[in-house]
Amino acid sequence: EHLPADIKAEIDREVRRLNDGGYYKEKQWDADLNTELDRPVDFDEMMKVKLRLLRRIFDAIGKKTLDSEPYKQFMAEGQHWLKPYGLFCWLRDFFGTANHEEWGALGAGRVSEQKLNDMTAPESDFYKGISFYWFVQFHLHLQLKEASEYSASKGVVLKGDLPIGVDHDSVDAWYWPHLFHMNKKTGAPPDDYASDGQNWGFPTYNWDAMARDGYTWWSNRLGWMSRYFQAFRIDHILGFFRIWEMPHTATGGL
C-alpha cells in the first residue's frame, strides 16, 4: 500500500501482459510429456520483470523498510545466513556467474567473518546492492509467514520440502565449504531408469566437520524453516545414511 502510483500501474500492466492469452504466438509443448501446455509461463521474462520492478520498489521504499523495527528484528535473528546470502548474491551479479571458483580472492572459503562483516556494513560501498537482497528476503518472509499463520488458523498444516543436497554454486558451499566434500559429487547409481546413473552435481556432506560444531548448519536451517512449516519432507532422506558419491570431474553417474 506504500508503493508509488506509477510503480503500481506498471505492475498492473506487466501482470496483464504476462497473463495475456495471446502472449505466445505459437503453441508451447512439454517435450517430456509430448503434450501442449495449457497455460505456459515465460519464466525467464517473468523473473526479469520481477527483478526490475523489485529494484524500482527498493529505490522507492527501501530506506524506510531498512529503518523499520520489524526489518531490524528480522536481520538480527537471521544475520547468520542473511549476511553471507546477500554478499553471495552481490558477488554473483558482479562476476556474472554463480560459480565461485571464478571469483578469485573472494571464492569459496576465502571470505573471513571479518571480511564478511566489513563488506556488508552500512558504510561499505557494496551495502546498497547487498541490502537489496535482504529487502527482498524480508518481504518474502512476511508473505510466507502470513500464509503460514492463515493456514494454521484454518487447521491446515504446511509441509516444507527440504532437498538432501545443496548446489555447488550456492551460498552454503561458498561460505561454508569445510562442511562439504567440494571435490565430490552426489547422484544415484545405474538402474533401469538411467543406465549411466544420475549426477546431481551436489557436493557431499563432510559429516565429521558438521559433528564438530554440533551440526549448527543443520539446526539453523531447520530452525528457520520451522517459522513457516509444521512438518518437513526430506527429499531423498536415505542421503542421511548412504549416498552415491563420485569425483567432481564426473559428467555422468559413474
**For residue 1, is pLDDT > 70?**
no
- Which triple of cell numbers denotes residue 176? 561454508
pLDDT tens per residue, range 48-99? 999 999 999 999 999 999 999 999 999 999 999 999 999 999 999 999 999 9
- Give just the sign of the alpha carbon dihedral 62, 63, 64, 69: positive
Asked if 124 and 118 touch (Cβ cutoff 8 Å), the reply is: yes
Whole-model pTM: value is 0.92
Summarised one tens digit per residue, pLDDT across range 125-143 is: 999 999 999 999 999 999 9
Question: How does residue 38 score in pLDDT terms, banded at 50, 70 and 90?
Answer: confident
- From 117, 113, 119, 118, select the one nearest 94 (Cα to Cα): 119
Residue among 205, 212, 164 nearest 181 (CA): 205
**No. of helices (H) and no. of strands (E), the chain:** 8, 7
